[in-house]
Chain A
Amino acid sequence: MELFDLFFYIFASVIVISGAVTVLNKNLIYAAFALLILLSSVAAMFFILGAEFLAMVQILIYVGGVLILIVFGIMLTGQVKSVPMRENFVYLLIAAVFTGLLCGLLVTGITARPDMTLTADIASTPIKMLGNLLIGKYYLIFGMLGVLLLVILIAAAGMARNNKE
């Protein structure tokens, strides 16, 4: 067992456990804390797989942006400590069925194309190549995403403005 494997399994188990805590805990703040651990372990996973840029963006956007936003949202909600959850057997069954379907889909999707899975031994991302790809080959997608973000930004500014009636 290599050091890589050790860290991989540690982070994988942390991801699974903290994900479960995020979903199952009734205290919203605990759920947010578990989400923090979850997101940072995903970033750590990217790190040990050699995708540094992705890891950094993961931390910067999810931990620095989304999680903070969620916590601010939690601070504005009334009921934080015990959120009523649907614990009926029927709901659990539905959730289990859909989770199983999704899991099966992912597993078959990944194992069906073994040529698509890469070995873990990737050199660190050459950031210049990434930039060239974004501006060159994937320019259309990049530009469309930029326009989408701009639209969202304008919409958010419009919604945040006070309506003078």
Chain B
Amino acid sequence: MTTIFNVWDFLLILLYAIIPLAYIIPFALMAVYAERKISAWIQNRVGPNRTGPIGLFQTTADILKLMQKEDIVANGADKKLFLLAPIVVFIGSYAAYAALPFSSVYIGTNINLGVLYMVAISCFVVAGIIFAGWASDNKYSIMGSLRSAAQLVSYEIPTLFVIISIFAITQQFNLRELSEMQTSNILNWGIFGFDGLGYKRILLIPVLFVLMIILFISTLAEVNRTPFDLPEAESELVAGFHTEYSGMKFALFSYLNMQICLLFQGWSLRFSLVDISHHLVTSVICLDCHGLFQ
């Protein structure tokens, strides 16, 4: 009680909280571009190629377009909830960055239960999606939101099981410690058994590989990407829970949904951008593995 409340402390905390955005926005731009381009190649199309060299600025242009759009609120919609629901979704996906170690230097809060925190805070996304679907006053929205919520809740279970097994192997909840266990040598990665287990980890490799596949599938389901795009099925529901949203609010939904996918699947790439010396090789090979496996 001796110290007096310091405004600078507060501003410092705010600044600290904004840092991930400086990473997320360019990363999301490039990741969406990559997704479009690669899926185009798979389907024997060209993909975006007009805006900028080989279409590199296509997503930037899309975001600029979304920002200029009129913010439409449907007549029958519940205005307050319609406004608040995207914010809840945003909180759920952005707050997860607080426990994510971007590098050996920068981590929002180095809490002991980092992974559990990320799983827990993602629950806000489910709630936000349901509220968004209800507030839209549109049957496609509500059906899409219920499907989406059911899918998110049910695929949380395999994710949690995998996380529990990782805890059992490493006896470590702290995300920074967990990623430090996997540095410095390719054989220290999660998939090859963790550091400090000796030769016994050879026995673990098949198990961990299966875990990686389970985790990959369940994270795909959690972000509603292609094999699991039931909630946004275009042929039956117009666009799922964000049918009625336009402009920036739509951008909040779609790009942050996308971002969760990348958060879980590509934080090794994030490492490599920030802390090149440690993690460059990791990012190239293991892009689509879950964070736990680096």
Q: Residues on A close to B: CB < 8 A?
A: 1-3, 5-6, 29-30, 32-33, 36, 40, 52-53, 56-57, 59-60, 63-65, 67-68, 71-72, 75, 124-127
Contact = CB atoms under 8 A, between A and B. Distances in A.
A72 B146 contact: yes
Which secondary structure dominates where chain B touches chain A? Answer: helix
B116 A67 contact: no
Q: What range describes how many residues of B lie at the interface?
A: 20 to 34
B40 interface: no
B199 interface: no
Nearest to B9: A3
Contact of B123 (A5, A60, A126): A60
A49 B11 CA distance: 21
Interface string B102-138: 0000000001110011011101101100110011000
Contacts of A126: 112
Nearest to B124: A63
A127 B6 contact: no
A60 B134 contact: no
B149 A68 contact: yes
B130 A71 contact: yes
Nearest to A80: B134
A3 B123 contact: no
B153 A52 contact: no
B156 interface: yes
Contact of A127 (B120, B126, B131, B173): B173
A60 B120 contact: yes
Nearest to B122: A64
B131 A29 contact: yes
Contacts of A68: 123, 126-127, 130, 149, 153
Nearest to B142: A75
Which secondary structure dominates where chain A touches chain B? Answer: helix
Contacts of B6: 3
B135 to A, nearest CB: 8
Instruction: Choose among B120, B124, B126, B131 the residue with the greatest number of A CB atoms under 10 Å from its CB.
Output: B120
B10 A75 contact: no
Interface string B1-15: 101111001100000
Contacts of A125: 112
Given A57-B120, A59-B124, A60-B116, 5 more contacts: A1-B4, A56-B120, A60-B119, A63-B127, A68-B149
B84 interface: yes
A1 B120 contact: no
B162 to A, nearest CB: 16
B81 interface: yes
Interface in B43-71: none
B84 A33 contact: yes
Contacts of A36: 88, 124, 127
B78 A29 contact: yes
A53 B174 CA distance: 12
A78 B35 CA distance: 42
Contacts of B121: 59
Nearest to A29: B134
B113 A75 contact: no
A3 B10 contact: yes
B131 A33 contact: yes
A52 B127 contact: no
A3 B5 contact: yes
B123 A64 contact: yes
